[in-house]
Structure 1
Amino acid sequence: MLKDVYIVDENTMAFIPIFDHTGVVKTNILEVEYLKKCHLNPLELVDQNLRFFGSSLKGASEGTRNILGEVNMYPVIMNLKRLLVWLPTMSPKKKDCVWLALDHIKSYRQNHDRNTEILFTNDSSLILPISYRSFEKRIYRAYELKFKLEYHTKFLLIPHSIKRNFLRCEIVKEVNGLNYKIYSKDKNSEKESYDK
């Protein structure tokens, strides 16, 4: 059964392209418990989901660039409230690009054919025709994006009155020593050691 609308949630693991007999790209949607089909291609599905939550593929990629800097094959924040980060396995413009939910990647390894085998949280596996090192770079970028988003979200929840009282210091290892020197970073004073 083909679905017109599909909204990603915590159970969605991957969008896998499938070519029909006429060469049109559709999507197998891999979930924790089900395999669904959609008449949209993976890139259209990603864009549709981003638009559902008030963004777009272009907006999400610009947001990622703002957080991570210039990167190729950028991960995207599919749902900010739930911190669902997804990553493409190759250039999203390629018709055979698979999109993966970061939270459902349990492990990955290089197989005997020098491809990358991914194990999902439900113990399904996917073999991708890309090198382990290339895939690992994409995973690291996705984790960096998620980490920075979590930091921004939690930091913004701290009231300004509390932030104003944060300890600000610079910690430097002593030259040829074992200890670290701790200096105040108070704007109103010179560099002052806490070790006095």
Structure 2
Amino acid sequence: MLEEIYTVSDNTMAFLPDFDGVGGFKTTILEVDDLKECHLNPIELLDQNLRFFGSSLRGASEGTRYILGEVNMYPVIMNLKHQLVWFPTRSPKKNDCVWLALNHIKSYKRNKNQSTKIIFTNGSSLNIEVSFSSFEMRMNRAYALKFRLEYRSSFMLIPPSVQRNFLKYDIIKEANDINYQIHSKDEDSLDN
């Protein structure tokens, strides 16, 4: 049965493109305990979910670029509250692009034929025609986005009055020295 509306949850692991052979393009949704189909293609489904949570694919990609800098095949923050980060296996413009939930990738390994095998948290596996190094780079970008989100979330909880009182240091090790030199930073040099 095709889902008209599908909302990503903590149990959603992947969006797989599904072609019906007569020009139809929909999405197979891989969950921890279920397999569903939606009449939207993966990009439409991704955008619909981002809009549901108050963003859009365009807004999420601009947010990622702001956090990570200029990157190709950017990960997106699907749900900020739950810190659900998703990333594409190849260019999102390609019809065979699979979108993966970072929190459900248990492991991955190189296949002999230059493809990559992904093992999900529920034990399911997916073989994708993407090199191991390309997949690992995309996954590392997703981890970097998640890490920076977590850092910003926890750092924002510290009141600015407390942050101003943090002690700041320049820690330098000269090439021929055994020890590190520790110098207290003054307020005038903080912008350097």
Instruction: Output the TM-score relative to the length of structure 1.
Output: 0.93
1:184 counterpart residue number: 184
**1:177 Cα shift?**
1.9
Identity of aligned residues (%): 66
**1:175 Cα shift?**
3.9
2:71 counterpart residue number: 71
**1:56 Cα shift?**
0.4
1:59 counterpart residue number: 59
Could you list the structure 1 runs, at least 4 aligned residues long, displaced by more than 4 angstroms after superposition: none
Alignment of 1:81-160 (within 5 A): 81-160=81-160
1:33 counterpart residue number: 33
Q: Larger Cα Rg: Structure 1 or Structure 2? A: 1
Alignment of 1:158-173 (within 5 A): 158-173=158-173
RMSD of aligned Cα (Å): 1.2
**1:143 Cα shift?**
0.6
Q: SS of the counterpart of 2:187?
A: coil
1:49 counterpart residue number: 49
After superposition, give the CA deviation of every residue in 1:113-140 in whole Å (9 maximum; x if it has no partner).
2210001011100000111111111011
Q: Which moved more, 1:135-144 or 1:172-181?
A: 172-181
**1:174 Cα shift?**
3.7
Alignment partners' CA distance in 1, 2:179 and 2:64 = 38
**1:165 Cα shift?**
1.1
Question: In the alignment, residue 40 of structure 1 is paired with which amino acid?
Answer: L
1:4 counterpart residue number: 4
Alignment partners' CA distance in 2, 1:188 and 1:128 = 52
Q: Which moved more, 1:174-183 or 1:81-90?
A: 174-183
Alignment partners' CA distance in 1, 2:137 and 2:78 = 19
1:194 counterpart residue number: none
Instruction: Output the TM-score relative to the length of structure 2.
Output: 0.95
**1:181 Cα shift?**
1.1
**1:173 Cα shift?**
1.2
Alignment partners' CA distance in 1, 2:112 and 2:134 = 16
